[in-house]
């Protein structure tokens, strides 16, 4: 029974922390549900599938339900593990758990994207934001709000095409992060996570995915298709984004939430 006391201490601490969060703020879900409407890269041959294994009264006379699901790693609200574009870097299951949570900043570039569906977020955008809100601390979670979340799950508006297969990829259009900004963040701000409310941290017309390659090679994690960024303040939100723990995974479905002070 020696183990019981430390377990009780931990449970009490967790309960106190949760109670403190609940009293002083609220939790906001930043995750799109997974369904037949979930948006994936066009060359994924199959999207999300949920099949019923059993749903009803079993032979013992009581109700039971169970499903099985299939999903590509990259689609909907999901994680990009560093190994996705950087050989030898962390796989999904190797990422230290503390990398999935932390203080967040939300950089709003929606005014720039209104008239440019291929807008690339720049260093100047971030520096202009910092003139108002202060320098972004190291190990922050940096989230970019393009305003594209208002289009989800309308594929034609959100990613630029309803097409499927490799032939649809040239028609992808949505804003995202300029590789020069990715390099600048690595050198000058050292975030633990970079996330965005579009389908990719590289813009739709990217051919070389340099933003992915720059960030992920430094073991900086990507959050893509993040929902409800319009509900977060520019600073002060605390993010928790836990992916399905897939051994050797390059990414995976992500449940990400934010705590915001009231």
Interior/surface letters 198-222, b for 16+ CB within 10 angstroms, e for the rest: bbbbbbbbbeebbbbebbbbbbbbb
What confidence score (pLDDT) does residue 262 get?
86
CB 92 within 8 A of CB 249: yes
> Which residue in the block uniquely carries the two structure tokens 């950087």?
86
Mean pLDDT, contiguous 10-residue spans, the chain (262 residues): 49 53 86 98 95 97 98 98 98 98 98 97 98 98 98 98 96 98 98 98 98 98 98 98 98 98 90
What confidence score (pLDDT) does residue 10 get?
47
Dihedral angle over CA of 121, 123, 126, 129, nearest 10? -110
What confidence score (pLDDT) does residue 7 get?
44
- What six digits make up the tokens of 105? 């900043």
Q: Across the strands, what pairs with 40?
A: 75
What confidence score (pLDDT) does residue 23 get?
73
What confidence score (pLDDT) does residue 19 get?
55
What confidence score (pLDDT) does residue 22 get?
60
- What six digits make up the tokens of 84? 């996705």
């Amino acid at each position: 029974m020696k183990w019981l006391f430390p377990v009780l201490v931990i449970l009490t601490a967790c309960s106190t922390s949760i109670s403190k969060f609940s009293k002083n703020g609220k939790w906001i879900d930043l995750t799109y549900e997974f369904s037949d409407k979930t948006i994936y890269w066009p060359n994924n041959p199959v999207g999300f599938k949920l099949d019923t294994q059993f749903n009803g009264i079993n032979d013992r006379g009581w109700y039971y339900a169970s499903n099985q699901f299939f999903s590509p790693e990259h689609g909907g609200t999901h994680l990009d593990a560093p190994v996705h574009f950087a050989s030898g870097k962390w796989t999904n299951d190797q990422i230290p758990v503390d990398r999935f949570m932390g203080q967040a900043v939300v950089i709003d570039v929606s005014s720039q994207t209104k008239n440019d569906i291929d807008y690339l977020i720049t260093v100047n955008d971030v520096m202009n934001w910092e003139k108002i809100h202060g320098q972004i601390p190291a190990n922050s979670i940096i989230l970019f709000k393009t305003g594209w979340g208002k289009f989800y799950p309308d594929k034609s508006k959100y990613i630029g095409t309803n097409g499927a297969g490799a032939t649809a990829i040239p028609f992808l259009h949505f804003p995202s992060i300029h590789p020069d900004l990715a390099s600048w963040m690595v050198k000058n701000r050292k975030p633990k996570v970079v996330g965005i409310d579009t389908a990719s941290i590289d813009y739709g017309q990217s051919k070389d995915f340099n933003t992915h390659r720059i960030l992920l090679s430094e073991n900086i994690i990507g959050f893509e298709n993040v929902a409800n960024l319009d509900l977060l303040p520019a600073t002060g939100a605390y993010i928790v984004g836990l992916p399905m723990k897939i051994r050797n995974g390059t990414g995976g479905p992500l449940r990400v939430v934010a705590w915001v002070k009231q």
